[in-house]
Chain A
Amino acid sequence: MFEKKSGILLIAGVGFFAFAFLSNAVIPILMYRHLPEKTVKQVVNGNVRYQFEDLAQRYPAAFEKAYGQPPADPQQAGEWYDEKCAEALEVGRKVYIGEGCWHCHSQFVRPVSNEDRRWGPVSQSWEYQNRLQRPVMFGTRRVGPDLSREGGRRSNDWHAVHFFKPDMLSPKSPMPQYPWLFDGTPDQPNTRGLALMTYVQWLGSWLESYPYYEDYAPTPIKNIVATE
């Protein structure tokens, strides 16, 4: 059996592989079946909406070029913004993957090495049960800091300038420049640029303690809840 084709093909080749898949993949899948995957629209929350509308105000021309005009009716405009925000998140994630941001930035805060003091609450499973984390953007290398608590930490202006030329804001930064996310200058982000900023502002926006770093209190989520 141990040196024959059948044993090697069936036991080692298929059997052991299947055993590993069952024990290492199917078990977590079953364990999280009570947390169904959320769609992109479902993960648009008040915080990221706030940032998205902020983009519309800061870069009106660029925003209009990318997304057009919101309807006049406030109710419809609300839905319109949600929809466009979801669209932006999806494009932003694609840029994040395509540019390899995830090979320099992780998206999980570990319970060790003082990471919760640096970045905020330790990551939990439910945070990842959505379309934007399929495939999951955990990352395996940190040349730059973890980004899972990045939302709300910096202003959109900051991100725009930083993506355009990182060392204008972070001297000696090894992060690459991304001028192709802009039409020539940092105050003219293009569709991809706006989308990437929305995506980065979304990270961590679902948390109670958002935004973690700078005290922007009260958080927009609470305002919205209060007005509803």
Chain B
Amino acid sequence: MTSSLTVSDAELPRHEDLVEERLVLWYFVAALTFMVISMTAGVLMGLQLIRHNPLPAIELFSPGRWRMVHTNAIAYGFIANAFLGIMHWIIPRLTLRPVLSRPLSYVIFGAWQFVVLATAVGILLGEAQGVEWGETPVWIDPLALVGLLLVAINFGAPIIQVRGPMYVTLWYYLAALVWTFLTYAMGNFVPEYFVCGSSAGAVGGLFIHDLVGLFVTPLGWGMMYYFVPILLKRPMWSHGLSLVGFWGLAFFYPLQGIHHFLYTPIPMFLQYGAVLSTIALELVVLTVIINFVGTLRGTGGEVLRNLPLRYFYTGIAFYFLTCLQCALQTTLTFQALIHFTDWVVGHAHMVMFGVFSMWQLGAMTYLVPRILKTDWYNPEWCEWHFWGSAGGLMLMSGDLILCGLFQGWSWAALQPWESSVQVSIPFWSVRIVAGLVMFAVQLLFIYNFFKTWQKSRAVAASV
């Protein structure tokens, strides 16, 4: 960043030559489409749990299959697409170089939509792969991997040409491009073809964890380090803490996979190792949070006034909460009670929606008017979108986390299985309500997006 300041404005490449704005919008449209699919699937499974499945006994609507569509559509459909869109904006602007090839960008866009759609169709036809978060049918995995390789090449080209020290965002992005590829290959191939049993469990744990930690998290923080200083018009508070945050994450995050399978037959000393590195990482996370809160010093009010910034800092607050939760729930004492319960489901929603989706929705709220060169059709609806998303998520996570405690106690007390189900029904009902609120405001956002797009055309035509 500093180097770009020394270059006089005249020499800077024009924004239009750097960023393919249309593609950014396309990625957002694709992301939101999969968000709708994923949420529909979530509602279906949620209704099954409270025994109100509107479509029982139909093979293609098997709730177990839709549950897998729910997670895969959000991870690979919404989150991945939104990140790709955002990266098409950030990377060229930060490196002052366009991506390797525009046609290639469009090929990747098409290929990725094909991968996600084929995943959904494959799962609905009962062809899922038995790896959590990797249910993509085995015959799609190689294609997805080629796609990830192309992504790495396309975005890697401008990053690799940067001379000297890079800005924080690019550390995260560069590492994430490598990690995502490696993680996907490891998680989908090793436990499927090479090892069975507990070792496959260990690899499966690594995969679940690395997907969050080495794909979603670095892409998320990368964009935070980019947008937050821009929105606040000031540099990050401490460069040293940025360094600690990145290197701490890079070292400790990949070491924790086994904490997803504590008390399994995986060797106990490996389980302890995973627990310790998890707790170590929480200290690292704390430095990152301190850095971002420090950046805010004196301008806290901006967070209330500026909507994208509010999204970002809400996500950061949820990030702090989830990580605090991690440090507690990774201990064996906690695991005995909450593993297998809805506590974990509550936690997962807080991470995936409360943190990363909030950041991405914030970035969309910020970028869409800039790309369409007109204000939001209805800024009021954007406010609704924020409060519905944040409020709904808070209700859902809190509700499920509490539910998990009741389930865990019911099981430990050796009550009949039915009573653990009975005790969950009120919580599951609240969860449906929270989910519907979140769903409704996303639909409102999509409608707002559509109207804004229409408006931008009208504006462009009248000029």
Task: Give me the interface of A with B, judged by CB distance under 8 Å.
Answer: 2-5, 8-9, 11-14, 16-17, 19-21, 23-25, 27-29, 31-32, 35, 37, 94-95, 97-104, 106, 108, 110-115, 117-118, 123-125, 127-131, 133-145, 167, 170, 172-174, 176-180
B49 touches A143 (CB 8 A): yes
B174 touches A97 (CB 8 A): no
Whole-angstrom distance between the Cβ of A212 and the nearest chain B Cβ: 15
Contacts of B131 in A (CB 8 A): 135
A113 touches B337 (CB 8 A): yes
With a 10 A CB-CB cut-off, give which of A3, A19, A100, A178 has the most chain B CB atoms: A100
Whole-angstrom distance between the Cβ of B348 and the nearest chain A Cβ: 10
A176 touches B63 (CB 8 A): yes
Chain B contributes a number of interface residues (CB within 8 A of A) equal to: 90
Contacts of A11 in B (CB 8 A): 250
User: Using a Cβ cutoff of 8 Å, how many contacts connect chains A and B?
Assistant: 232
With a 10 A CB-CB cut-off, give which of A31, A99, A104, A137 has the most chain B CB atoms: A99
In the docked arrangement, what's the CA distance between A53 and B435, Å?
A: 47
Contacts of A178 in B (CB 8 A): 62
Contacts of A173 in B (CB 8 A): 418, 421
**Is the CB of B175 closer than 8 A to any CB of chain A?**
yes
A176 touches B56 (CB 8 A): yes
**Is the CB of B165 closer than 8 A to any CB of chain A?**
yes
**Could you write out 12 A-B pairs with CB less than 8 Å apart?**
A3-B243, A9-B178, A95-B126, A100-B62, A110-B339, A114-B411, A125-B197, A125-B198, A130-B197, A135-B204, A140-B344, A174-B50
A100 touches B65 (CB 8 A): yes
In the docked arrangement, what's the CA distance between A114 and B337, Å?
A: 11
Where chain B touches its partner, the secondary structure class is helix
Give me the 6 closest cross-chain CB pairs, A-B, nearest first: A100-B64, A128-B197, A20-B254, A98-B126, A134-B196, A13-B178
A118 touches B64 (CB 8 A): no
In the docked arrangement, what's the CA distance between A115 and B417, Å?
A: 12
Q: Which of B76-84, B85-93, B229-237, B266-274 contacts A (4 or more CB under 8 A)?
A: B266-274
B264 touches A123 (CB 8 A): yes
**Is the CB of B385 closer than 8 A to any CB of chain A?**
no
Of B166, B186, B197, which contacts A32 at CB under 8 A?
A: B197
Q: A128-B196, A136-B197, A177-B56 are known contacts; what are 13 more A-B pairs with Cβ within 8 Å?
A: A8-B171, A13-B174, A13-B179, A20-B254, A25-B186, A99-B62, A100-B65, A110-B339, A125-B198, A134-B195, A136-B200, A140-B208, A176-B48
A112 touches B336 (CB 8 A): yes
With a 10 A CB-CB cut-off, give which of B51, B130, B160 has the most chain A CB atoms: B130
Contacts of B273 in A (CB 8 A): 23-24
Contacts of A27 in B (CB 8 A): 267, 270
B190 touches A25 (CB 8 A): yes
B237-255 near A? 1/0 per residue, CB < 8 Å: 0000001001100110011
**Is the CB of B159 closer than 8 A to any CB of chain A?**
yes
Contacts of A180 in B (CB 8 A): 59
In the docked arrangement, what's the CA distance between A195 and B211, Å?
A: 33
B196 touches A174 (CB 8 A): no
In the docked arrangement, what's the CA distance between A95 and B119, Å?
A: 17
A16-B251, A138-B201 known; A111 and B67 CB under 8 Å? no
B165 touches A9 (CB 8 A): no
A98 touches B421 (CB 8 A): no
In the docked arrangement, what's the CA distance between A141 and B437, Å?
A: 25
A25 touches B175 (CB 8 A): no
A174 touches B49 (CB 8 A): yes
Contacts of B264 in A (CB 8 A): 108, 110, 123, 138
Whole-angstrom distance between the Cβ of B418 and the nearest chain A Cβ: 7
Whole-angstrom distance between the Cβ of B399 and the nearest chain A Cβ: 16
Of A95, A104, A123, which contacts B265 at CB under 8 A?
A: A123
With a 10 A CB-CB cut-off, give which of A134, A143, A172 has the most chain B CB atoms: A143
Task: Give me the interface of B with A, judged by CB distance under 8 Å.
Answer: 48-51, 53, 56-57, 59, 62-65, 67-68, 126-132, 159-160, 162, 164-166, 171, 174-175, 177-179, 182-183, 186, 190-193, 195-206, 208, 214, 243, 246-247, 250-251, 254-255, 257-258, 260-261, 263-267, 270, 273-274, 335-337, 339-341, 344-345, 408, 411-414, 417-418, 421-422
Contacts of B174 in A (CB 8 A): 5, 8-9, 13
B130 touches A97 (CB 8 A): yes
Whole-angstrom distance between the Cβ of A207 and the nearest chain B Cβ: 14
Q: Whose C-beta in chain B lies nearest to the C-beta of A12?
A: B250
A110-B263, A141-B340, A176-B56 known; A24 and B191 CB under 8 Å? no
B202 touches A24 (CB 8 A): yes
A14-B178, A24-B202, A176-B53 known; A118 and B414 CB under 8 Å? yes
Whole-angstrom distance between the Cβ of A141 and the nearest chain B Cβ: 6
Of B206, B247, B408, which contacts A113 at CB under 8 A?
A: B408
A142 touches B263 (CB 8 A): no
Q: Whose C-beta in chain B lies nearest to the C-beta of A192?
A: B126
Contacts of B203 in A (CB 8 A): 25
Whole-angstrom distance between the Cβ of A142 and the nearest chain B Cβ: 4
Whole-angstrom distance between the Cβ of B140 and the nearest chain A Cβ: 15
Contacts of A177 in B (CB 8 A): 56-57
In the docked arrangement, what's the CA distance between A127 and B198, Å?
A: 9
In the docked arrangement, what's the CA distance between A14 and B183, Å?
A: 11
In the docked arrangement, what's the CA distance between A95 and B50, Å?
A: 24
B197 touches A129 (CB 8 A): yes
Contacts of A104 in B (CB 8 A): 64
Q: Whose C-beta in chain B lies nearest to the C-beta of A14?
A: B178
A133 touches B197 (CB 8 A): yes
Of A21, A37, A133, A167, which contacts B186 at CB under 8 A?
A: A21
Whole-angstrom distance between the Cβ of B304 and the nearest chain A Cβ: 34
Contacts of B132 in A (CB 8 A): 103, 140
In the docked arrangement, what's the CA distance between A141 and B337, Å?
A: 13
B68 touches A16 (CB 8 A): no
B247 touches A2 (CB 8 A): yes
B257 touches A24 (CB 8 A): yes
Contacts of A21 in B (CB 8 A): 186, 206, 254
Whole-angstrom distance between the Cβ of B183 and the nearest chain A Cβ: 8
In the docked arrangement, what's the CA distance between A173 and B417, Å?
A: 10
